[in-house]
Amino acid sequence: MSAEKLFTTQAGITWSMDWDGEGDCTVLSSQDCTDIIDANRALANHDQGPWRGEGDEFRLVRRIPFNLITQWENELGIDFYDENAAKEVMSLLNSNEYSALRTWDGTI
């Protein structure tokens, strides 16, 4: 059976439920991250305007899609929200693999 769409959030995350025919179900989420990546690229190529603080003290450095955070937890066992996982999260965010999440050239 195909997944039954439940709802889509304002962030563009679509939640659905897939039944296996034996009474078990899997809850699924999907997200088109194109707009987030495009916005990150635009900010990286231009002055960040209101996102930038005095003397570069504060700056928007990343926009991370929710489903990527969930994927890291499911596939890598990294809990984005656990302060004990901060080094692993920073390593991922600073890697070339996730450079599309950056809104500037620096590292965090």
CB atoms within 10 A of CB 2: 7
CA–CA distance, 100 with 37 (Å, rounded to integer): 6
Q: What share of the chain is helix, strand, coil (3-state, %, to 5)?
A: 45, 20, 35
Report the first-to-last Cα separation within the chain, whole angstroms. Answer: 44
Q: Name residue 85's amino acid.
A: A
pLDDT in tens for each of the 108 residues of the chain? 578 999 999 888 999 999 888 889 999 999 999 999 998 888 888 766 555 656 666 777 888 999 999 999 999 999 999 999 999 999 999 999 999 998 887 777
Q: Name residue 42's amino acid.
A: A
The pTM (predicted TM-score) of the whole model is 0.73
Domain ranges of the chain: 1-31, 33-108
Report helix, strand or coil for 31: strand
Partners of 59 in the β-ladder: 52
CA–CA distance, 12 with 61 (Å, rounded to integer): 21
Q: What is the DSSP letter of 30?
A: E
